[in-house]
Structure formats: structure tokens, C-alpha cells
Structure 1
Amino acid sequence: MFYRISGLAAFCFLGTSSPVVAQEAGRIDMQGFDLIPSLSTDMLYIDNVTYASEESAHITSWVGIISPQIKAVSGFGTNELEFVYRGERGEYFSSPADNYTDHFVHVAGNFEMDRRNRFTTKLGFEDGHDQRGRQFSSGFGNQLNQVDTYKKPGVSATYEFGSVSSPGRVELRAGYEELDYDNDSQAYLIRDRSYTKVGGQFFYRLAGRTHLVLDASHQQIDYDVAADPQSPLDNQEDRVLAGFTWESTAATTGFAKVGYKQKSFDAPGRESFEGIDWEAGLTWQPRTYSEIELATGADTRETNGEGDYIRSQDYRISWRHAWLTRFSTTMALAHEQNDYEGAEITTARNDDVTRAQLAADYQFRRWLQVGVFYEFSQRDSTRELVSFDRNVVGITTKVTL
């Protein structure tokens, strides 16, 4: 739940010329589908808007963010279709260059042909932005006069064969996603890329709700424009993991997978990766009103301007506790290690990123939730220019029908 930026302060009434009926909390029956509107708002204070280093000038600002969402859900038999639109507008009172307007849309379907065959698909589109000082502008966000905006369309599908009670179950998945920055200058064109993904998992029940799992995947990453035509960043990733999923009790669920990953570049001069990858997560609910989550993983990510790729390892823990029926708190801590790899890097770049968050939420009414939160983030790097400390405090609200 890190970085709860959502929105500002009122509730919008949705009208229609057709007769509508409030079906249940938060839903409007539109005679064929349910309409679920909501509005989230935030008022934040940020002491380092552009993630500047200690030696650089810091921009501080109050930020107002408003995020309306509309969801339409239609069910027929055991199948369901969902359409979601969410907008987000951020206004920086002391830094207009950081203002943004984002749009998120997706259409998803869940289909169950019979108890052995299930199919899910999702088509999404994001009209988003990178904050100044993030991604490719890390270390020089102050030099930009506006945020970097992009379009990100994508589609994914998953097919499952095997009932929940069968000894074995197969899951096949495929997806395609593009990242296209709006700026057409060379510095932005070399960031545009596409991801083509295929993979599958096999689950074999060992005992009760414990399963052996084998996971294999392939991903092709193609860049639209190469910064160096003689040495493009196009590459392939192949990964094979094995492990377990379990639900030992109603209060404890988890998974752990470890295996081998290879990232190889089309250009022979690029530095490939071969090594261990892992994914693990544990959810422990000692009481119905208290939940602890642990997660860790290792992966390779695309470079953001330095090196051939980024080797990352991350560790996360969070605790959510409902002290009263309407009052809950959340504490979260995450640590990330990023090592930039590449033959052309003359001196090693290693980043350690730490994030911590404290949040409290109170459900004033069934339709109104109000919260406060504090977030601290820090990056220590062998590149002093990209190191930063950042504090965010905020008040957030969510309004539904």
C-alpha cells in the first residue's frame, strides 16, 4: 500500500435518464449491470518533490489530488465482465511543473466454462506520467520543466485447466504491453519498448492445501529505437522456478519459488545475466482483525539510462490491525537493492532504497473513510547525484455511495 496518492474533497452525483435503483451499498442497479462510483482525495505535503540529492535544491509543496472512479460490473451465470475507469489529477501548489492528469482504463472478463476450464482476460490502457526525478530523470528532476508523460496499452489472458479439488492443475498465460513516451525527441524515443510474455504453471497437490508448483516463462523485450544502432537493448528473458504454495490453516497462506533466470541480449557486446531468481510471500492472520504480510523477490529490470539492466532484490513487510470496528492502522517497511550491470559501466552503481509508512484509517460512515499517513523514502547510492531523502505527510478520503 505504499504511496497512497489518490485524490481532493467532494462527491459527484451520477444521474441518468433511465430509471435506476440503489441495489446495495455502493452499487446502482442499471438493469443489466451494476454501476459502482467512488471518489478518492488526498491533501499532501512533500518536502522533496523532485527526489533531489542533498547537494541539489529541494522543492517543497502542498499537493491536492483528486481521483474519481467508475466501475461497471455485469454477471451472467458463473461469468463476469468488468469495466473500470479511473482518473487522477494532481495540483502542486508551489510547483506547477509537477502538475499531472492521468487516466486508467481496463476491461476484464472472468469466464468459467465448467469446473475444469476457466479463462480470464484483461485489456488495459494507461495514460500516465513519471514524476520529475524518477525513472530516466533520476538525479536531475529539477532540470525538467514538466513531468514525462506516456501511453501504456496492454492485453493479457490466462487459461486454467483442472478443478480446485483435482490432484493437478495447469495455468497458461500470455500478454503484450507497450510503453510509448509522448515526447518524440531522441532522448525519449529510445525509451519506447514492448513486452511480449508467455508462460505457464503446473500445480500438483501434495497434501491438503499444499501444492508443488513449477513455473516457466519467456519474455521478449523490443525497443523501438536503439540509442546505439550497433548495440541495441533488445533482449529475451527465460525463467524456470519451482516451489510450493500452501494454506496450512485458515490464518496462514503463502508461496515460495526459487529457480534460474537468463537474460540475454541480441547485441553480443551487451552483458547477459544468468543466476538465481526467487519469489516468496506469506500472509499470517493471527486474529480476524490483524494481518501480517511478508514478501521477497529477485528479478532483472530494464535500465533507466545507465548500464544494460538492473539486478534487483526486494524485501517487504506490512502489518494491518483493526483496533476498533471502524478504526485501523497499517505499518509497512520495504527495502530494495538495485545493482546496475553492464560492460560499459566504469564504476559500479549500487542503490539501496528504503521506504517506511505509517497510516491510520477511520470509517466515519459506510460511505466515507478518512485517513492520515506518513511516508519516508530514502535512496543511498554510489552515485551521489541520485541519492535522496523524502518525507510525505497526508490526509486522504474515500467516498462511495
Structure 2
Amino acid sequence: MLDQIQHRISGRALSAVTIFFAANPTVSIAADIELFKGGTVSAQAKASALYDDNIYLQDTAPISAWLTVFTPEISVAVESEKVSFSSSAVSRIGSYPGGERASFKDYLGSADFRWQPMSTLGLTASGRYSDANQRVNADESMQLNPVIEAERVISPEAEIGLVASTPSKRSQIKYSIGSESQDFFGEERDFDNDYTRLEISYRLTPRVILTAESSNSEITYKDVLDRDALDSEERGIFVGATYDLPKTKITARYGKSEKNFASATRETRSVPVWDVGLDWSFRTYSGFKLNFSKTVRESLGQAGFIESSSGALSWHHQWTSKFQSNFAYSQAKGEFSGIDRERALRISGVSLQYLFADTCFLGAGFTSTRSDDELNGFEDISVERNEIFLSISGPL
């Protein structure tokens, strides 16, 4: 079971890179260079030309423009009997030739470490960092945040964990301590989240794993005049199961999240939360992913929190040895606690990739985004964006 935790951590880093730049997804081939026994480094890059019909994500008088984006990425991996390490760093460098907007640089980094001194005991550590000029897309678990961010968001996170398992690897327990920050363009919304998490898993059969989780978060706002109005303690408890077949993986989780505010003027609320996921590779060259969820998110500063319900579907198909396609659709609806406000977000996209020269891809596609805000029963804000892109990518 310890190897499952490492697999999950490594997968998290990859999915974060993919989703972070989901506006123009491209599957690339990177050339691995072995530095020493068990250690490799790989580098790749992508150059894109995009047309964006709403570069500022404005609800009125949208401004359109062409932009060019250069995206280099480097990854390092080390693997030995007791130690493993993986890291990746991605940059997205954008420029507007017509001068409609200032050039920008986005950054995303991740690192994961595992030390297993004994077969039944392991130590994990991970770090994440993202610095994006806009944030619109789903997170790594395919859950879409209904609140889009038209300005820069910086999000660092660090976590350490202790993992213990039985000699048979049938049962496992992990205790984690972590901290994350959300730094927005508007400083009055910045907050820190210090959390602890206890996870237990038990392999009931070769294909069924039962899970339980308990978490506690201390959320502290940084620059709010009345910090007690938003500071809170959030507790969660969940149970779940995973059913793993050769071509299909089904996950389900249910629980409750309780939010207890420091301010006496805000009441404690307990909200049911859940998520269901399906990963179906019905052919070696084709696969679906489906996810439905309900979760609790931080608000824009007025409401106590947001009850967010989301759904996402993606389909990848390899038509030939050189030609492949990707389709994705996701939507989310957020209900603001304490005020009569709702926000809905829908994102859809299609991309095509063609392999040439054995190591490079040509790509093309489009994405469509629509955000609707309703306040006191009336439409308040409606934002639409459509993007078309062409790209070329390959190893460095």
C-alpha cells in the first residue's frame, strides 16, 4: 500500500501540470536522460499562438487579441530501493503582439519525496507552487471552482506525512501536516490554511479498498479589517471505497464538513460533501474520465463559504499511431452561504494532436468558457470567453 501513496503523489504532480494549462492541452514526448543509476531528467517545450476574444474576462466590452505563448518544462526523477524523488517545473510566457495587454509569466512547480526506512514505515514530503495571471480551470481531481479569477493568484503549499502499514500491506494509515496559502490580486481576500489529515485504508478484496479520512483546517485571513468575520476552523470526516478493475476504476466518498467561524455573528454550519469518479479505459487507445462532486470552498469575502457542486467529463482517443484527440466538459454551481447569490461556470474544449518527426506534436483546438452570476434572483454578471489555438511541442 505504501507504493500506492507514491503513485498517487506522482500522479498528482502530472495532473496539476496538465490542468494548469488546460486551455491548450498537448501531449508531448520528452527525452529522458539518465544522470546516474535511478536518476533521470527530461525537458520539453511548447510554442502556441492563441486567439482570445476576452483577454480580461470582462462582463462588458470584452477585448480580443492574439497572443503567443512559450511553455518550457523540466522534470527530474530519482528512484532507489528506499528513496524516491520527483519534481517538475513549468513556465508559461505570454506576449500580446498588438500590445492589448502586458506580457505575463506563469509558473508551476511540484516536488515529491518518499523515504521508506522499513517495509512497514515511510515518510513523505511534497510541495506545490503556482503563480498564474488568471485561474479558470478545474483542479487536479477534476473539481471545478465556480469562482473564476481574472487577476493573478499565487498558491504555495507544503505537506509532510508519516505512513505505516501492516506487513501484508493490507491496512495502511497516514498522518499528514500541511500548510497552503492563497494570495489574490485583491489582498483583502488572502488567506492561509494550516491543516492536519488522518487517512486510513483497508484492502477488503484484491479489487476493493475501503477508506476513512478525518481532517482539520485552521483558515486565517491576512488583510481583512475584521478578521474574525472570516477566520474559521473547518472539520471534515469522510468514508469511501475504490473498486479497481483492469480497465475501470470507480471511486466514491461521502462525508460532512463543519465550518466554525471565530465570529459570533456567523453560525456554525455542517454541510454534506461527496465525490464520485469513474476512470474507464475501454480500449488501450481510448478512455473516459467522469467526476461528480460537492464540496465547500472559501467565498469572495462576504458570504460565509460557498457550497460548490461540479461535474466533469473528459475523453481521450488515439485514432492512429500519430493522431489523437481530447475532449473535456466541466460545469460547476456555487451557492453562497448567508447571502442570496449563485454563480455558475461552464467550460468545454476540444484539442487535436499530430505526431511528426517521431518526437514532436502539432496541435490545434478551442475552449469555451461562460460564467453567470445571480444576485437576489437577478442576473448580475455574465462573462464569456472563446479561445482558438495552434501549437507545436517536443523535447529539448
Q: Shared fold (TM-score greater than 0.5)?
A: yes
Q: 2:237 aligned to 237, 240, 250, which one?
A: 240
**How far has the Cα of 1:31 moved from its partner?**
4.1
Instruction: State the SS of the aligned residue for 1:262.
Output: strand
Q: Pick closer, same or farther for the CA change 1:236–1:397 going to 2, 3 Å.
A: farther
Q: Match for residue 107 of structure 2? A: 103
Q: Match for residue 31 of structure 2? A: 26
Q: Give 2:243's aligned amino acid.
A: W
Distance of 1:259 and 1:199 partners within structure 2: 14
Q: Match for residue 10 of structure 2? A: none
Q: 1:45 aligned to 44, 51, 54, which one?
A: 51
Distance of 1:57 and 1:376 partners within structure 2: 18
**How far has the Cα of 1:5 moved from its partner?**
4.4
**How far has the Cα of 1:34 moved from its partner?**
2.5
Q: Give 1:387's aligned amino acid.
A: S
Q: Which has the larger radius of gyration?
A: 1
**How far has the Cα of 1:315 moved from its partner?**
0.6
Q: Match for residue 335 of structure 2? A: 339
Q: Match for residue 154 of structure 1? A: 157
Instruction: State the SS of the aligned residue for 2:31.
Output: coil
Q: Match for residue 12 of structure 1? A: none
Q: Which has the higher contact order (CA 8 A, sep 6+)?
A: 2
Q: Pick closer, same or farther for the CA change 1:340–1:95 going to 2, 3 Å.
A: farther
Distance of 1:219 and 1:111 partners within structure 2: 26
Conservation of the 8 A alpha-carbon contact between 2:30 and 2:43: no
Q: Pick closer, same or farther for the CA change 1:166–1:77 going to 2, 3 Å.
A: closer
Gapped regions of structure 2 (runs ≥ 5): 1-17, 137-144
Q: Pick closer, same or farther for the CA change 1:104–1:363 going to 2, 3 Å.
A: same
Distance of 1:299 and 1:164 partners within structure 2: 35
Q: Pick closer, same or farther for the CA change 1:390–1:256 going to 2, 3 Å.
A: same
Q: Match for residue 22 of structure 2? A: 4
Instruction: State the SS of the aligned residue for 1:97.
Output: coil
Conservation of the 8 A alpha-carbon contact between 1:217 and 1:239: yes
Gapped regions of structure 1 (runs ≥ 5): 9-23, 142-147
Q: Pick closer, same or farther for the CA change 1:271–1:377 going to 2, 3 Å.
A: farther
Q: Match for residue 21 of structure 1? A: none
Q: Pick closer, same or farther for the CA change 1:370–1:305 going to 2, 3 Å.
A: farther
Instruction: State the SS of the aligned residue for 1:382.
Output: strand
Q: 1:175 aligned to 161, 175, 178, which one?
A: 178
Q: Pick closer, same or farther for the CA change 1:287–1:47 going to 2, 3 Å.
A: same
Matched, 1:123 2:119: no
When normalised by structure 1's length, the TM-score is 0.82
Conservation of the 8 A alpha-carbon contact between 2:290 and 2:313: yes
**How far has the Cα of 1:352 moved from its partner?**
1.8
RMSD, matched Cα: 2.9
Q: What fraction of aligned residue pairs are identical, expressed as a percent?
A: 21
Instruction: State the SS of the aligned residue for 2:101.
Output: helix
Conservation of the 8 A alpha-carbon contact between 1:117 and 1:163: no
**How far has the Cα of 1:303 moved from its partner?**
1.3
**How far has the Cα of 1:52 moved from its partner?**
2.2
Q: What are the Cα deviations for residues 37-58 of structure 1, in whole angstroms up to 9, with x where unaligned?
A: 11122211111222222xx101
Q: Pick closer, same or farther for the CA change 1:294–1:124 going to 2, 3 Å.
A: closer
Q: 1:324 aligned to 299, 317, 320, which one?
A: 320
Mapping of 1:125-274 within 5 angstroms?
A: 125-130=129-134, 148-149=151-152, 151-162=154-165, 165-181=168-184, 188-229=186-227, 231-247=228-244, 249-274=245-270
Distance of 2:327 and 2:170 partners within structure 1: 38
Conservation of the 8 A alpha-carbon contact between 1:7 and 1:88: no
Q: Match for residue 362 of structure 2? A: 370
**How far has the Cα of 1:362 moved from its partner?**
1.6
Q: Match for residue 314 of structure 1? A: 310
